[in-house]
Structure 1
Amino acid sequence: MTGNGAALDVEGLSRSFGDLRAVDDVSFTVPGGLLTGFVGGNGAGKTTTMRMIMGLLALHGGEVRWNGAPITAGDRRRIGYMPEERGLYPKQKVLDQLVYLGELSGMSRADARSAVMVTLERFDLADRAGERVEKLSLGNQQRVQITAALMTTPDALILDEPFSGLDPRAVDSMTDLLREHAARGIPVLFSSHQLDLVERLCDRLVILSRGRVVASGSVDDLRSRGPVRYRTTLGGDAGWIRDVGGIHVVDLDGTTALVEASDPPALQRLLRAAVERGDVLDFARHVPALSEVYREVTA
């Protein structure tokens, strides 16, 4: 078992569609008590992997394990799952539909109704509970779909693009809800194209590209695996830095240069030359954004 609670382990998952290898020997762990972001471009294999975890697609290789044992149908029924294709009935009223879904998962009608209303209240949708789903905006329909995944007090969460279509206030509400579930010690895996949100929210990341895991770990771990770079801002044009021995200029924009050094003495030479030429406004180790790390590992 990994983390503060239960753990979901994906071991060597593979899946093909005809000649296309959509998921190729994918392995990672979703530890309990942590938020794990699943990141990758369109067609990277995220949705296919999530469907295999949930038993909606057959595995062509590998295994899914829950708490160290092969996952069962009963285990999967205790996972709150939000699919990429939303499964709401547009003509049915919000409350009726969610209570029905709660009953299907084994809740009593009274418990389902109570849990639904609590979650809808968190999304400022309690006053819309009696409306048909089709009357809601796409963002509010997204809130209803999320409520369906969260209302059963699940043992784990697997959410495919849960933040898609949400306004900033709903994003904050969703973030709080996910953190509360993680604080109970459950594994939380969600996919998102919003790298800034993933960077801010996640404890761990799994980056997929062309069906394979190309990087995984905490944001800090992923940042530390790349080359060490320094950003320097001068009082004048920084173009001359290209001529400093042992210095490779990665990016140059007027007075600011992002550089790599072949060795520590090269950095000292750069600093001495900069001071001799004029003002050095800033010189610090560059901390890459997740978007930079993502571009490098998926290139």
Structure 2
Amino acid sequence: MLEFDGAVKRFGPLTALDGCSFTARPGRLTGFLGANGAGKTTAMRAVFGLVHLDAGTTRWCGQPISPGDRAAFGYMPEERGLYPRMRVRDQLVYFGRLCGRSATEVGGAVDRWLERLGLADRAEDRVDTLSHGNQQRVQLVAAVVNEPSLLVLDEPFSGLDPIALAAMADLLAEMAAGGATVLFSSHQLDLVEHLCEDVVIIDHGRVVLAGELARLRAALPQRFAEIRFRGRAPAWSDLPGVQLVAVDDGFARLQVEPTGDVAQVVALAQGSAELTSFTYQPPTLSELFRRAVAS
């Protein structure tokens, strides 16, 4: 289990982390969310000793993180951390051996991962000849080649096409299912909502919301109705405790307060149009995020 306890980091007058505290649990995917400059990258770098905290601690399994612990971690930075003129396989074997494993052992693992991610035919190519998406895949292999107990990824899905995105998402879910602690940042909130059991939302260096995503969504009193219909749009504003938040041709998304009556929403829709679909759910992660950073 990875823990941040009161982490503080300042860069001159800028406070990047301001008493940051949260936990990422083993066997689960944790989405680490925040606007640009919120402190996500600084926190991730602190796990690996690339940033030294001014106060507070980071712990692994209840103890301060040691160099030995870090040798069993995997890290995928947002900035490309590869040698562009080095061949793919040679580079991955080199990175794998930094943790003390033999070339034979690491080489076998590298070959398996390259095959898994569809890069076996690019093993002898230089990194700078690969597409952005394939470079992302190589960087992911570098992070997972030693089967880490903790995997930390900074915007791993940036710039990926849908096929590569799905492959990476499946791999992260598989690693978490195998018992690893997986923490990743992303601005793609719909993807995080689909993948993650837990979320941490950080704003100006402080954690403003954290926990199991399903419980966080359910805890808010508001619910949202999504309605698709044919015909004339109903007069949604006539309903007490109901607010129209999105509208398009034949579509409406309504925020329903605890004082609102969902039965009235359905009756109004059926009374003036042909109802084709209706869903009633807690807030999305995107709505949860906006509320958390605005408070």
TM-score of the superposed pair, with normalisation by structure 2:
0.88
Q: Tell me, what secondary structure is at the counterpart of 2:261?
A: helix
Quick one: structure 1 residues 257 and 56, their matched pair in 2 at CA, closer, same or farther if it must change by over 3 Å? closer
User: Whole-Å Cα distance in 2 between the matches of residues 204 and 272 of structure 1?
Assistant: 33
Q: Tell me, what secondary structure is at the counterpart of 1:293?
A: helix
1:79–1:155 Cα contact (<8 Å) kept? yes
The correspondence for 2:204, drawn from 210, 226, 231, is: 210
Superposed CA RMSD in Å reads: 2.5
Query: Is 1:238 paired with 2:234?
Result: yes
Query: Is 1:292 paired with 2:250?
Result: no
User: Whole-Å Cα distance in 2 between the matches of residues 67 and 274 of structure 1?
Assistant: 55
Quick one: structure 1 residues 276 and 85, their matched pair in 2 at CA, closer, same or farther if it must change by over 3 Å? closer
1:15–1:21 Cα contact (<8 Å) kept? yes
The correspondence for 1:105, drawn from 76, 99, 110, is: 99
Quick one: structure 1 residues 268 and 164, their matched pair in 2 at CA, closer, same or farther if it must change by over 3 Å? closer
Deviation readout 1:233-269 (Å, 9 max, x if unpaired)? 5764433x4344x424243637746143453xx5289
Quick one: structure 1 residues 92 and 18, their matched pair in 2 at CA, closer, same or farther if it must change by over 3 Å? same
Q: CA deviation at 1:225?
A: 2.9
Deviation readout 1:274-297 (Å, 9 max, x if unpaired)? 389556836653333222222221
Can you give the 5+ residue segments of structure 1 that lack an aligned partner in the other structure? 1-6
Q: What is residue 11 of structure 1 aligned with on the other side?
A: 5
User: Whole-Å Cα distance in 1 between the matches of residues 172 and 270 of structure 2?
Assistant: 53
Quick one: structure 1 residues 238 and 93, their matched pair in 2 at CA, closer, same or farther if it must change by over 3 Å? same
Q: After superposition, where does 1:23-102 map in structure 2 within 5 Å? A: 23-102=17-96
The correspondence for 1:182, drawn from 159, 171, 176, is: 176
User: Whole-Å Cα distance in 2 between the matches of residues 243 and 267 of structure 1?
Assistant: 12
Can you give the 5+ residue segments of structure 2 that lack an aligned partner in the other structure? none
Query: Is 1:253 paired with 2:247?
Result: yes
Deviation readout 1:105-141 (Å, 9 max, x if unpaired)? 1110001111111111111111111111111112111
Q: What is residue 151 of structure 1 aligned with on the other side?
A: 145
Q: Tell me, what secondary structure is at the counterpart of 1:214?
A: strand
Q: Tell me, what secondary structure is at the counterpart of 1:113?
A: helix
User: Whole-Å Cα distance in 2 between the matches of residues 104 and 219 of structure 1?
Assistant: 36
Deviation readout 1:41-83 (Å, 9 max, x if unpaired)? 1111100000111111010111111111111111111101112
Quick one: structure 1 residues 119 and 242, their matched pair in 2 at CA, closer, same or farther if it must change by over 3 Å? same
Q: CA deviation at 1:102?
A: 1.2
2:221–2:257 Cα contact (<8 Å) kept? no
User: Whole-Å Cα distance in 2 between the matches of residues 95 and 232 of structure 1?
Assistant: 49
Residues paired across the two proteins, number: 289
User: Whole-Å Cα distance in 2 between the matches of residues 13 and 173 of structure 1?
Assistant: 33
Q: Tell me, what secondary structure is at the counterpart of 1:207?
A: strand
- Choose 173-182 or 18-27, whichever is displaced more: 173-182
User: Whole-Å Cα distance in 1 between the matches of residues 217 and 238 of structure 2?
Assistant: 28
- Choose 32-41 or 177-186, whichever is displaced more: 177-186
> Which letter does structure 1 place at the counterpart of 2:49?
G
Quick one: structure 1 residues 153 and 253, their matched pair in 2 at CA, closer, same or farther if it must change by over 3 Å? closer
User: Whole-Å Cα distance in 1 between the matches of residues 268 and 92 of structure 2?
Assistant: 64
TM-score of the superposed pair, with normalisation by structure 1:
0.87
- Percent identity over the alignment is 48
1:228–1:286 Cα contact (<8 Å) kept? no
